Amino acid sequence: MFRERAEGRPHARRNCLLVPASRRLTLFAVTLGLAALALPLGAGGSLSDQQAAVDSKIASLRAQIAQAKQKEGQLTGEISSASSAITSLESRIAAITKKVDALQADLDVHRARLSTLAARYRRQTIELARLMRQHQIAQERLNARLVQLYETQNTDELAILLQAGSLHDLIEQVDYFNAIGERDKQIVLTLARLKVEMHQAREQTARTKTQVAAATAVLAKKTAAVQSARDELVSQQSALAAMRASKLQLLVSVRSTRRQDEEDLASQEAASASLAAQIQAQGSSGSGSSGTGESSSGLIWPVSGPVTSGFGYRCLGGVCRLHAGIDIGVPSGTPVHAAASGTVIFAGAMSGYGNIVVIDHGNGLATAYAHLSAIYTGGSVSQGQTIAASGCTGRCFGPHLHFEVRINGNPVDPIGYLP
């Protein structure tokens, strides 16, 4: 059967059927115990693997809590700074608003005066036109009267004498014609004087209106500039208020998440302590040795390829998680070899890892091979034996082998154990 598997007849979901019955019972009991503790099954099938998963989550939660506290401090500082800036802007806006109000009142006075001058100029223009027309009419009438008197005095003197009943009547008629001429002359002179005076008044109004218009334009421009400055301050204040409200909401969210993480951390620490006690009680094959985690001949590379992702914490979007192994870039289907001889304690599918094989090498040392496309063996294996084929099952973004080394269930950097 093992020969057929070694020749490449894969079956990707062997699960625990390849593990000895006694060990399967142990794993089953552990699984039930972990389910009762509501612990995630994501770091291996043994108690050591389970503790490693919990410890990894504890480290991640601590990192998240520390980062949340740092974020809270940053947000609190930014909110305080925004509040101070808003208060300062409120004072500046109040001061500049008073200035705008004063300028606006002055501008309203200038505009009212300009409106009055414009109305006066229009009335004076109309009056000047009327006087000019009357002056022209009076002048024409005077000219006609003078012609009439001249003609009368030269051609109708005899008729006037003949028509007069007495010397008194004659004198009255001559005086009458002379009086009419003098009155017409006075009317013309008066209209001419009024026309000149009105023209001068109109010019004075025009000059005053021009001066007031220029002052009004300057004042309007200054008022608009101050108004624009105030509007800019109001806009800045609104933006700061919106930013502060957003950061306050984010602060509430960060604090809520941090409290949840702290509660989760407490439960995870309790679970980790419980697992550690169970691991110490159960022990591992070869327990009582020095526990250095190194086999006599050391480990070999399970596949040949570049390390595309190393061991350590990865932070994304403010969340930090431990990458508990190394990723070795190889094509899907590449044969995967046992890094050292030992016993397969888990072979099957596991959340996140996809298809995974876990080998116990004794002395507290274990290795894990994840994201497999196929699993070929179980039970006891020798160093270099083909145990699986690489792939991209579980959570992955391309074919590779995820390889872990664990000491007493705790993940360590595999590079330190490889030649």
Residue 8 has pLDDT above 80, yes or no: no
**Residues 195 and 334 grouped into a single domain:** no
**Residues 126 and 209 grouped into a single domain:** yes
More confident residue, 69 or 45: 69
3-state secondary structure at position 262: helix
Is pTM beyond 0.85? Reply is no
**Residues 167 and 25 grouped into a single domain:** no
At residue 366, φ and ψ (nearest 5 deg) are -140, 150
Residue 379 has pLDDT above 90, yes or no: no
Give per-residue pLDDT as tens, 80-97. 888 888 888 888 888 888
Give per-residue pLDDT as tens, 210-251. 888 888 888 888 889 888 888 888 888 889 889 889 888 988
CATH number at residue 388: 2.70.70.10
What number is the average pLDDT over the span 386-409? Answer: 90
Contact 294, 60 (CB under 8 A): no
What number is the average pLDDT over the span 12-38? Answer: 35
Q: Where are the beta strands (DSSP E) in 17-123?
A: none
pLDDT of residue 64: 82
Q: Is residue 403 part of a domain?
A: yes
- Among 222, 250, 278, the domain boundary falls at 250
Residue 31 has pLDDT above 70, yes or no: no
Round to whole Å and give the CA distance between 371 and 310. Answer: 16
Round to whole Å and give the CA distance between 108 and 111. Answer: 5
**Residues 243 and 96 grouped into a single domain:** yes
State the pLDDT confidence band at 285, using cuts at 50, 70 and 90: very low
pLDDT of residue 18: 36
SS3 content of the chain, % helix, strand, coil (to 5): 60, 15, 20
State the pLDDT confidence band at 399, using cuts at 50, 70 and 90: very high
pLDDT-above-70 percentage for the chain:
68
pLDDT-above-90 percentage for the chain:
15
**Residues 246 and 106 grouped into a single domain:** yes
Give per-residue pLDDT as tens, 113-132. 888 888 888 887 888 788 77
**Residues 199 and 335 grouped into a single domain:** no
Round to whole Å and give the CA distance between 285 and 295. Answer: 13
Residue 107 has pLDDT above 80, yes or no: yes
pLDDT of residue 407: 87
Q: Is residue 72 part of a domain?
A: no
Give per-residue pLDDT as tens, 254-271. 888 888 877 777 776 676
pLDDT of residue 386: 96
User: Helices marked H in 7-46 — which ranges?
Assistant: 21-36
Q: What is the CA radius of gyration of the chain?
A: 54
Q: Which of 130-144, 158-172, 393-407 has the lowest mean pLDDT?
A: 158-172
Mean pLDDT score of the chain, rounded to an integer? 74
State the pLDDT confidence band at 36, using cuts at 50, 70 and 90: very low
**Residues 171 and 305 grouped into a single domain:** no
Round to whole Å and give the CA distance between 126 and 29. Answer: 113
Which is nearest to 413 in space by CA: 295, 324, 301? Answer: 324
Residue 401 has pLDDT above 90, yes or no: yes
Expressed as residue numbers, the domain containing 193 is 78-250
Q: Using alpha carbons, list the distances in angstroms from residue 250 to 63, 70, 76, 261, 372.
A: 19, 13, 10, 16, 41
Q: Is residue 84 part of a domain?
A: yes
Contact 9, 374 (CB under 8 A): no
Q: Is residue 239 part of a domain?
A: yes
**Residues 311 and 396 grouped into a single domain:** yes
What number is the average pLDDT over the span 180-202? Answer: 76
CATH number at residue 129: 1.10.287.1490
State the pLDDT confidence band at 295, using cuts at 50, 70 and 90: very low
User: Helices marked H in 283-325 — which ranges?
Assistant: none
Q: Is residue 50 part of a domain?
A: no
- Among 192, 226, 250, the domain boundary falls at 250
**Residues 238 and 346 grouped into a single domain:** no
Contact 402, 369 (CB under 8 A): yes
State the pLDDT confidence band at 70, using cuts at 50, 70 and 90: confident
pLDDT of residue 119: 87
Domain count, the chain: 2
pLDDT of residue 27: 36
At residue 57, φ and ψ (nearest 5 deg) are -70, -35
What number is the average pLDDT over the span 160-181? Answer: 54
Q: Is residue 407 part of a domain?
A: yes
**Residues 192 and 105 grouped into a single domain:** yes
Question: What is the full DSSP assignment across 202-247?
Answer: HHHHHHHHHHHHHHHHHHHHHHHHHHHHHHHHHHHHHHHHHHHHHH
**Residues 14 and 101 grouped into a single domain:** no
* Start-to-end Cα distance in the chain: 32
Contact 226, 103 (CB under 8 A): yes
Q: Using alpha carbons, list the distances in angstroms from residue 11 to 148, 199, 374, 379.
A: 141, 115, 6, 15
What number is the average pLDDT over the span 358-380? Answer: 90
Contact 385, 302 (CB under 8 A): no
Residue 136 has pLDDT above 60, yes or no: yes
- Among 250, 281, 300, the domain boundary falls at 250
Q: What is the 3-state secondary structure (H, E, C) of 343-407?
A: EEEEEEEECCCEEEEEEEEECCEEEEEEEEEEECCCCEECCCCEEEEEECCCCCCCCEEEEEEEE
Structure-block tokens of residue 286: 């070869």
Q: Is residue 30 part of a domain?
A: yes
Residue 15 has pLDDT above 50, yes or no: no
More confident residue, 275 or 410: 410
pLDDT of residue 4: 32
**Residues 134 and 242 grouped into a single domain:** yes
State the pLDDT confidence band at 301, using cuts at 50, 70 and 90: very high
Residue 47 has pLDDT above 80, yes or no: no
Q: Is residue 59 part of a domain?
A: no
